[in-house]
Amino acid sequence: MVYMDFMNNVLNELQRQNMTQIELCDSIGISVNTFRGWVSKKVQPPVDIAYKISKALNITLDQLISGKPEHPAEKKLEEIKKQLEAIVEKI
């Protein structure tokens, strides 16, 4: 079931990053009760919130859905993107 995998992957990623549910909720602008409701009632968050969760955790939505780690090329691409952004800011 996609829902169960998604929420389990979110919870696993929170643990991996040593981030609390409260910190995540604060960063995406939702209440902790809302988040915990999705976990306990097995209700999937709306797509826009799922996207915000992925951004807050700095991983792709694909990764949260599949539970698979990102491809090494994706990580390198993200590093290059950050480097380019830093260069542009200096200009």
pLDDT in tens, 10-58: 999 999 999 999 999 999 999 999 999 988 877 789 999 999 999 999 9
Cβ count near 74 (within 10 Å):
14
pTM for this one?
Answer: 0.70
Q: Are 64 and 10 in contact (CB under 8 A)?
A: yes
Angle subtended at Cα 71 by Cα 61 and Cα 35, rounded to the nearest 5 degrees: 25
